[in-house]
Amino acid sequence: MKAIVALENLIKEEEKRVALAKKQLAEHESGENRLSYIVKASTETTLEDSKALLEKHQAMLNELLAQDLKELEEQEKLKEATIRENYYKYQKIRLKRDKIATNDQKLHAMMIIDELPSEIHFEDQDLLLIAKKSIEMNLIVHEEMLNKLKDITADFNALKKDFKDEDISELDLLSYRIPILVLHIYILVENIKENVEQDEKLSFHGFPKYEDWWIEELWSSHQAYIALYKWKNIIKNQCITDDQKRAWDSIFSNWIFIKKLLNSKRELGFKLNYVLDSLLAKYAEFEEETEIGNITSMETIIKDITSKEDFMKVDPNHTVETPYLKYKLELNKK
């Protein structure tokens, strides 16, 4: 911008005038180069005027630079929006050219795109994952699954409709991952139930509850790691087919990633974490333990298991009542 260049040059000239006037006055004071009364007064006036102009022009430059930065940000946002629009515009073409996915997976993924509401978009990898699970787990054609995804997404949007921008601005990437995760767990549970109905020797009473302190202290507490490992394996043993076991491994990885990400955001992530928990409880009876007595009992069991191992001491900051658990309990009282 020409105005910025001109102001920068003015500021440089004024800085030179200020420096020169200060030098002349300093030499006068030291006796090195005495000035006449009139010249000294003129130099002092020049110094004051130059300093005032320097401050004024610096403020003008700062204002212009800030405005220029806003324009750049807007241009960058527009550029990102265009890239994203093109990403979804050419999604079917990319899926057709995918060299890893099978033809069936590509077909299912493209059918999913056709039936999604216009305002909802999913990444390629998520579309292919849904398509793959639809085929692997012998689900009724994709239509039933998509209807369920629409229900989950509608509930998700309803639960966060009162969120402020700052509540989700940093977690926007989860807006499409959370409904898909809920759908995957719902499918797994329903598929297990179908197998149980077909074989009287089998039984399924739902998944055991997890505890939030396992996620809160993951990587800092060996008890939390062991508890999560045991809990994951208990659920894996409830899966009947190899497909279900593989699906659970993938689901667990996605679930722990989202939970740990929300946990790392502290209070900023509480609201979205509660939305996720509410959807999982509604659609898959996949729940967190909120009874403090049950939590401390499980803690005793885990400590007993780990006491026989050569681990470091318990995390001094350990507490079963995590900040998010307290938030949820307070919310549930309302």
Domain identity same for 81 and 165: no
Say which residue, 278 or 97, is predicted with more confidence. Answer: 278
The answer to the question of residue 115 being in a domain is no
The verdict on residue 166 lying in a domain is: yes
Taking residue 108's Cβ as centre, other Cβ atoms within 10 Å add up to 23
Reported confidence tier of residue 140, pLDDT bands at 50, 70, 90 = very low
In-domain check, residue 44: yes
Tell me how far apart the terminal alpha carbons of the chain are, to the nearest angstrom. 56
In a domain, 99, yes or no: no
Q: Which two tokens stand for residue 230?
A: 């045991």
Q: Are 145 and 129 in contact (CB under 8 A)?
A: no
Confidence label for 118 from pLDDT (cuts 50, 70 and 90): low
pLDDT at position 205: 85
- Residue the block writes with tokens 């030499």: 27
Q: What is the pLDDT of residue 3?
A: 62
- 25 is a domain residue: yes
Question: Are 171 and 301 contained in the same domain?
Answer: yes
Same domain, 171 and 271: yes
Q: Residue 57 phi/psi, 5° resolution?
A: -70, -30
User: Number of structural domains, the chain?
Assistant: 2
Task: Render pLDDT for 284-327 as a digit per residue (tens, 0 to 9).
Answer: 889 988 888 888 888 888 777 777 665 556 667 778 888 889 88
Residues of the domain holding 221: 161-175+186-333
Helix (H, G, I), strand (E, B) or coil at 249: helix
